[in-house]
């Protein structure tokens, strides 16, 4: 009997202890009124978000944009920042869509040049969205962010968010309408654009299909010959008119920072420099990716980075966005290739990607840092694009800037 009173007494004391602070809070009418207002405001915001989502006909695609939305956003940003941002068309895709590059330049000549590329594989919209984040950051940061001002003072930056607009448009449309897409990687000619660049004559004929295939049905079909596609030809012609010291491509997925070689295992003469760049990228990530040469993922024939490094001595790097563990919605192909938490992925890559422009500047100002001297020998499918040379040599002969159309590139006259 005595112990039962003891238990009841303890329970009562605990109840009083737990309830007392709540009662104390509730006793202040100003706090109570304020918390009610906060709650009502949050509920109203959620209601508006649900309403906007219901009315958004592309809600199944979010947070990604359709091609039309991406184009409109690029035009809006350029219109809002005249004198800094311009959108240029460097060619047209197989189905006649414009191939757009956004240029950031403060006007002065002779600066380093850096190029960011996204979405060469149609379903990999995440790369295009990280490119768009770079564009927004540079445009909005000018005059407010000292790091942005520093980069724009040192270099002209170019960003091409969508390199495969025909099939990107189709992947985005299918996802927006049905919430489902097939495996959409290649261009409208069924060519894997990132296997359509020139390659070394001694490249093996037979490798894994992912390296690049001669069969049209393969997901990595190389096309009838290197640069057979307008998207790849126009990109190389554009690069040839400039003196890019570094080019960085965004793909998905896997969480990797990669650099040449992609075809053969021997490290390049600039392996140490590439590793420093990749390590610097990784050091700036809060969720670090793995660092390794491209061949460690799988060998490739006709991929962009090897060709840019071989022919121009460009420090060409690639990031595979999104670690597998972050891919929450892996039930459909679209979400296998596009990170769901896009804001997080952008935050993990934005400053690291911008830091690559510092390397472009360093190599532009100190060309002796680059050990590779592009040779006279040609790779299979290499076009007549004027004399090859190290970036510093090219800088002297190509300061016309974007859209000048004065390059010596016959491939533009297709």
Binding segment toward Zn ion, per CB under 5 A, in 27-35, 110-118, 243-251, 382-390: 243-251
Give the CA radius of gyration of the chain. Answer: 26
What separation in angstroms does the CA of 346 have from each of 26, 88, 362?
42, 24, 25
Smallest separation (angstroms) from Zn ion to the CB of 258: 11
CA distance 119 to 406: 27
Binding segment toward Zn ion, per CB under 5 A, in 114-122, 176-184, 214-222, 326-334: 114-122
Q: Which is nearer to Zn ion, 121 or 243 (CB)?
A: 121
Is there a contact between 309 and 315 (Cβ–Cβ < 8 Å)? Answer: yes
- Which residues lie below 8 Å from residue 126, measured CB to CB, with a gap of 6+? 64, 250, 252, 253, 321, 322, 337, 338, 339, 342, 345
Smallest separation (angstroms) from Zn ion to the CB of 123: 9
What separation in angstroms does the CA of 155 have from each of 141, 158, 244, 254?
15, 10, 10, 30
Smallest separation (angstroms) from Zn ion to the CB of 251: 3
Is there a contact between 131 and 160 (Cβ–Cβ < 8 Å)? Answer: yes
Binding segment toward Zn ion, per CB under 5 A, in 25-33, 37-45, 115-123, 301-309: 115-123
Please give the size of the binding site for Zn ion, defined by CB under 5 A.
3
Nearest Cα to Cα of residue 252 among 152, 184, 331, 178: 184
Binding segment toward Zn ion, per CB under 5 A, in 52-60, 118-126, 234-242, 285-293: 118-126
CA distance 325 to 255: 10
Find residue 91's DSSP bridge partners.
99
Binding status of residue 251 toward Zn ion by CB under 5 A = yes
Smallest separation (angstroms) from Zn ion to the CB of 323: 15
Smallest separation (angstroms) from Zn ion to the CB of 132: 17
Binding segment toward Zn ion, per CB under 5 A, in 2-10, 121-129, 206-214, 355-363: 121-129
Smallest separation (angstroms) from Zn ion to the CB of 297: 10
Q: Which is nearer to Zn ion, 71 or 124 (CB)?
A: 124
Smallest separation (angstroms) from Zn ion to the CB of 321: 10
Smallest separation (angstroms) from Zn ion to the CB of 250: 9
Q: Which is nearer to Zn ion, 84 or 191 (CB)?
A: 191
Q: Which is nearer to Zn ion, 210 or 276 (CB)?
A: 210
Q: Which tokens in the block code for residue 53?
A: 């989502």
Q: Which is nearer to Zn ion, 241 or 251 (CB)?
A: 251
- Which residues lie below 8 Å from residue 282, measured CB to CB, with a gap of 6+? 257, 288, 289, 291, 352
Beta-sheet strand order (sheet of 315-321): 85-92, 98-104, 155-160, 112-118, 244-252, 315-321, 256-259, 290-293
Q: Which is nearer to Zn ion, 6 or 183 (CB)?
A: 183
Q: Which is nearer to Zn ion, 119 or 398 (CB)?
A: 119
Q: Which is nearer to Zn ion, 121 or 394 (CB)?
A: 121
Binding segment toward Zn ion, per CB under 5 A, in 120-128, 367-375, 380-388, 404-412: 120-128
What separation in angstroms does the CA of 88 have from each of 95, 166, 179, 302, 354?
18, 18, 32, 26, 21
Query: Binding Zn ion by CB under 5 A: which of 100, 103, 111, 121?
Result: 121
Q: Which tokens in the block code for residue 360?
A: 């472009």
What residue ranges bind Zn ion (CB under 5 A)? 121, 124, 251
């Amino acid at each position: 009997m005595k112990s039962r009173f003891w238990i009841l007494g303890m329970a009562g004391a605990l109840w009083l202890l737990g309830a007392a602070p709540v009662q104390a809070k509730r006793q202040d009418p100003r706090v109570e009124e304020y918390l009610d207002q906060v709650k009502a405001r949050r509920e109203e915001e959620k209601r508006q978000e649900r309403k906007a989502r219901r009315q958004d006909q592309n809600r199944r695609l979010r947070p990604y944009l359709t091609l039309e939305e991406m184009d409109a956003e690029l035009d809006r940003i350029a219109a809002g920042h005249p004198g800094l941002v311009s959108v240029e068309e460097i060619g047209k895709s197989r189905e006649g869509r414009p191939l757009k590059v956004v240029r950031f330049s403060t006007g002065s000549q002779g600066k380093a040049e850096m190029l960011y590329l996204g979405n060469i594989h149609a379903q990999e919209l995440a790369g295009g969205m990280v490119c768009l984040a770079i564009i927004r950051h540079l445009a909005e940061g000018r005059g407010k962010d000292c790091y942005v001002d520093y980069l724009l003072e040192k270099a002209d930056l170019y960003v091409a968010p969508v390199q495969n607009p025909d099939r990107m448009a189709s992947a985005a449309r299918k996802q927006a309408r049905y919430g489902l897409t097939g495996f959409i990687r290649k261009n409208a000619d069924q060519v894997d654009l990132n296997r359509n660049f020139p390659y070394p004559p001694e490249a093996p004929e037979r490798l894994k299909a992912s390296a690049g295939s001669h069969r049209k049905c393969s997901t990595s079909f190389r096309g009838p010959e290197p640069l057979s596609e307008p998207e790849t030809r126009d990109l190389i012609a554009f690069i040839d008119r400039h003196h890019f010291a570094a080019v960085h491509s965004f793909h998905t997925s896997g969480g990797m920072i990669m650099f040449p070689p992609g075809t053969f295992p021997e490290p390049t003469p600039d392996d140490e420099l590439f590793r420093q760049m990749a390590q610097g990228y990784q050091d700036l990530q809060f969720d670090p990716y793995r660092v390794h040469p491209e061949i460690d993922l799988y060998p490739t024939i006709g991929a962009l980075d090897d060709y840019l490094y071989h022919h121009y001595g460009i420090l060409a790097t690639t990031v595979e966005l999104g670690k597998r563990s972050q891919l929450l919605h892996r039930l459909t192909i679209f979400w296998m290739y596009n990170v769901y938490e896009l804001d997080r992925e952008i935050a993990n890559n934005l400053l690291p990607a911008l830091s690559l422009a510092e390397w472009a500047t360093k190599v532009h100002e100190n060309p002796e840092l680059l050990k590779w001297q592009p040779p006279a020998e040609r790779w299979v499918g290499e076009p007549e694009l004027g004399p090859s040379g190290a970036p510093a040599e090219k800088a002297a002969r190509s300061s016309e800037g974007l859209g000048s159309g004065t390059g010596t590139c016959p491939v533009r006259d297709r």
